[in-house]
Amino acid sequence: MAACAKTLSIEEPTLTEEWTVVLSRGRKHRRYFLKTETPKQQQPQPWVPVDVEINPKRELKLMQRMQNSIKRVESSQFYHSFLDQIQMLDGFPRVLGSELMMQVVIYGIGNIEGSESSRLQLSLAILMKRRFSWIGNMEVFDPVLSATECRVLEALGCTVLMVNEHGRRQALKPTLFFMPHCEAELYNNLLQANRDAKLLNNVVLFGNSFRAYEQIVVDFKPPNIVNSSQHIMAVQRFTNEFKIYKSLKDNFEAFNEQSWHFFNPEDDTVLYRIDK
């Protein structure tokens, strides 16, 4: 499908880093060292929509489409299996710990005005918030959002970020990153920003299957994916991945190949970064 195909076509990775694996003296565990050759890390940038039109008719039409999409997801077999799966996964209470709320950061939702997949994905996030009292504030960012889309997102209870974080939000508290069909680079940036065990323990990630990336890297070694998935590969050993159930009845391409990812870094595991 189009979004997945896009995921496999990153041409310009921003990081050119190299992982080496070494065994610490006197320890059973392997430790992962990241060598950075050219630290070209993007900084957060203020952002405003390119399309700034404010048009009440356009907003109303989009709101109606969102309401239809929410109804469609809510009445699907897929959604009910999705809720059952969340209730069965012990990763959610583990990440929450003693906290009452898990904030949500939605990156890469796409154009909700122009894409049915984006509307369905956003509907799923909104329904999760309505269903679970422990789901907190939902922040949304995608550089392609228009002013109309931002207004509708706010009306639906989301907060639109006015800064491009390049996916580098640090999870200082329990955070669900909802990132359906994003580019490998965005997951990679997120993992790089959270490569400390304390931060990684606060992360729940919904998005493209990391196992699938690993398979692609091992089997085909496409340079664009290899270069933009080093952190994805490095965290594989502490990642618990659960594919979401797909119902044969509902043909939601919007949720193809999506998984829940939880991370269990061992207490003494540190991902070292060696800058040249």
Ligand X SMILES: C[S@@+](CC[C@H](N)C(=O)[O-])C[C@H]1O[C@@H](n2cnc3c(N)ncnc32)[C@H](O)[C@@H]1O
Q: Which is nearer to ligand X, 161 or 235 (CB)?
A: 161
| Minimum CB distance to ligand X, residue 183 (Å) | 6
| Minimum CB distance to ligand X, residue 239 (Å) | 21
| Minimum CB distance to ligand X, residue 57 (Å) | 24
Q: Give SS3 for 207.
A: strand
Q: Which is nearer to ligand X, 43 or 87 (CB)?
A: 43
Question: DSSP secondary structure string, 132-184?
Answer: -TTEEEEEEE-TT--HHHHHHHHHTTEEE-SEE-TT----SS-EEEEETT--H
Q: Which is nearer to ligand X, 179 or 200 (CB)?
A: 179
Q: Which two tokens stand for residue 36?
A: 């950075």
Q: Which two tokens stand for residue 127?
A: 């329904």
| Minimum CB distance to ligand X, residue 33 (Å) | 27
Q: Which is nearer to ligand X, 7 or 209 (CB)?
A: 7
Q: Cβ(266)–Cβ(235) under 8 Å?
A: no
| Minimum CB distance to ligand X, residue 111 (Å) | 7
Q: Cβ(10)–Cβ(225) under 8 Å?
A: yes
> In the block, which residue shows the tokens 């999760």?
128
Q: Which is nearer to ligand X, 110 or 136 (CB)?
A: 110
Q: Cβ(8)–Cβ(222) under 8 Å?
A: yes
Distance CA 259, CA 137 (A): 22
Catalog residues that contact ligand X under the rule CB under 6 A.
Answer: 3, 6-7, 107-110, 115, 117-118, 121, 141-144, 164, 166-167, 180-183, 186
